[in-house]
A and B are shown apart, each in its own frame.
Chain A
Amino acid sequence: MKNTPLARVSGTILLTAFLVLTLVFAVQGSFETRAQITNTFDRQSQIQQAQIDLEELLRLQIDEENSLRGYSLTRDPFYAGQYRQAAAGYDAKESAIRRTLREQRLIGAEQLLGTYAHLQSEWRKDVAAPLLRHPGERLDELDKRNKLFSDYETGTVAAIRQALAGTDAALVRSTQLQLDRSSYVRAAWVLVFGLLAILFNTYRSRLNRELEEERTISEILQRAFRSESMPLPHCEVGSAYVSATTHLAVGGDVFDVYRLSDTLALVLIADISGKGVDAAVLTAFIKFMIRAIALRKSEPSEILDEFNGAFAKAVGNPYLFVSMFVGVLDTSTFLLRYGSAGHDCAFVRTRDGVARLSITGPVLGVMEEPFGSEAIELHKGDILVLATDGLTEVRNRAGVQLSERGAMELIERATPHAQALADELVAQARARGGNRLRDDLAVLTIRVDGDPPDA
């Protein structure tokens, strides 16, 4: 079963939306993962900084103790200054580490740091202060207490170190986990995207195949509907056709040059109300029906009469009408007998200028009135120019129609050759309409090239 155009559009939009959505999710997922990993790396970086700071803290603590030993042994105030400097550095560094641990919510490590700081404070009170008061004295008990503090501080620092290392390792594991999960999720999205893309491609191929089939059918139909112009003896025939439906080569205008006998030729141009494929279907009907009538009746008024009766019955649409010019040209005398059913775009260009061929009856499909016929004798160099209202009604940017007078001026100025003249009229109409025509335009030109054989 073939898709309707609406279903095609919906299907394409739906699949495209799925593809875009998949892409958006994949990209969003990537950004989220990136943000998470960045956050983890930031946290890891802070913990690593805390580890470095902790080692620095331990160094400051040792500096503090060594300075105190130096002062106790030498009584040199330089060491007392060093001691105070190291103590101040220790306090500042301890505060910085405590802040980091709090920010990173490492409660265990923060508590251990508190213990460490408390021990150091106790050490200053119990060991450092007495030694500063009595430098040089050997105080065995203080030495032992110092050792006790040292052992406990070392133990506490080791525990903090372990806590930070544990958190660092946990973050590394977490990062690895995030990366793994992100890889799996991304792979899943790529898989979904790939499957959708395959589906989309299959769907598009199917649509293309359907469109190709339709195009082939359309071309076959267009060949059937297309206007034709047969070569005529001692005449040069030119034609041009532009459909308002840009992608179709058919429309509501039709022309035909058809040889009825060795000397008689049917010349037809008609404009059906409406345009597009529906109108084009009627053009085929008109073309072949007029040919059939003209093969029996060579008087244009009779052709129009018969067609008018048949058209109303066959089509059965009171809103549909046709303007038509039917001519029967005798190529042995160049006498043109014609009937014009409301068709006002028929001209003849002679050495004296351009004249419009008169209308001999109303448009077809409206009323049943008799049609008249006229005759005109053509001479060498004369050009019969038949067009549809797409020429006279083409508007410029200001909205002004070309009109019959404008068309006649164009015909008068144009190259006096049948095909060149037809092409020029179409080009001028296009140019006036801003390269876009609102109505179909057909032009048929017949130039008499020689003298009548009878002459």
Chain B
Amino acid sequence: MRKVALALVLVLAWLSMSVPALSDCRLHRGQRVVLYSTTDDPSVLIWDSRARLREYHAASFDEAQAMLPHALLVAPGTHAVVLSCVANFVESPIFQRPDDAVGVVITSGAQRGITRWVLGSDVRLMSH
């Protein structure tokens, strides 16, 4: 009986942490998006894992440079479809608040068909 109660508590604790994170995510699976970074430099780095995406934004310049082989640079305006989203996953000293990590499949350009992770603020929802 005690084991069941403990398991229930653990499940509830996991839900309390994960459900809000999922529900806070701005994007949802299946949404069509356009990749576009800042106006100063609108091309977007896409990463082979969300962990590297997070590390890149927290790393020093040299560390980040060493990680570049794991990233692809796509032109601004590249189309994609959202596969998954992890809310507030990426933190950086220059961010005012944590950003989402968004898993996408590229649907246009030379990288069409590949699946990568991209920063939430580099993803713009396409208007229907």
User: Which A residues have a C-beta under 8 Å from some C-beta of B?
Assistant: 58, 62, 65, 119, 140-141, 143-148, 150-152, 154-155, 158-159
Contacts and interface: CB of A to CB of B under 8 A. Distances in A.
Given A152-B61, A155-B92, A158-B94, A147 B73 contact: yes
10 interchain residue pairs of minimum CB distance: A150-B41, A155-B94, A158-B94, A144-B73, A143-B73, A144-B68, A152-B61, A62-B40, A147-B45, A147-B73
Interface of B: 38, 40-41, 43, 45, 61, 64-65, 68, 71-73, 92-94
A147 B94 contact: no
A140 B69 CA distance: 11
Given A145-B65, A147-B43, A152-B61, A140 B93 contact: no
Given A144-B72, A150-B40, A152-B64, 14 more contacts: A62-B40, A65-B41, A119-B61, A141-B68, A143-B43, A144-B73, A145-B68, A148-B64, A148-B68, A150-B41, A151-B64, A152-B61, A154-B40, A155-B94
A154 B45 CA distance: 15
Contacts of A151: 41, 45, 64
Contacts of B38: 154
Contact of A144 (B71, B92, B94): B71
Contacts of A145: 65, 68
A46 to B, nearest CB: 25
18 contacts: A58-B40, A143-B43, A144-B72, A146-B41, A147-B43, A147-B73, A148-B61, A150-B41, A151-B64, A152-B61, A152-B64, A154-B38, A154-B40, A155-B92, A155-B93, A155-B94, A158-B94, A159-B94
Contacts of A154: 38, 40-41, 94
Given A119-B61, A154-B94, A144 B41 contact: no
A251 to B, nearest CB: 95
